[in-house]
Amino acid sequence: MIKYKIGEIVEGTIINIRPFGAIMLFDDGTKGLLHISEIANSFIKNIYRYLLIGKTYQVKVIEIADDGFLKVSMSKITQEEKDQYRSSNVKRTPVSEDCIDFEALKNKIEEWTKEEN
């Protein structure tokens, strides 16, 4: 049974980041994709400057696959929706470290260190 509705604002935790987007985990175990084009209303060259693995973000559900996998957006949330969401009594659900994939971060850290030097 699909719990989410298109247009609904939900919180999810980033568990994996790739150059094309981020995989998010929601409180009921559902996963979703936050595509790089849905993060902001401007061009994003480096997704790692916008998102952090393990951090929780508010997103809007924009599509639901037959298997329940969500496609979500940060850029489609209006300021009014953000304010309304904050005023509701929604509780954040912590995500176990076992669910978080730090492999992408591990792969980029050496590159970033070289760039800084």
Delimit the domains of the chain by residue range.
9-116
Q: Look-up: residue for tokens 């995989």?
A: 23
- Dig out the tokens for 110 from the structure: 């050496």
Instruction: Specify whether the CB–CB gap between 31 and 64 falls below 8 A.
Output: no
Query: Residue 6's pLDDT is what?
Result: 93
Q: How far apart are the first and last CA of the chain?
A: 51
Which fold does the domain 9-116 belong to in CATH?
OB fold (Dihydrolipoamide Acetyltransferase, E2P) (2.40.50)
**Which pLDDT tens digits describe the chain residue by residue (117 residues)?**
568 899 999 999 999 999 999 999 998 899 999 999 999 989 988 898 999 999 999 999 999 998 889 999 999 998 888 777 776 755 555 666 666 777 777 777 788 788 777
Q: Which among 60, 63, 86 has a CA at the least distance from the CA of 73?
A: 60
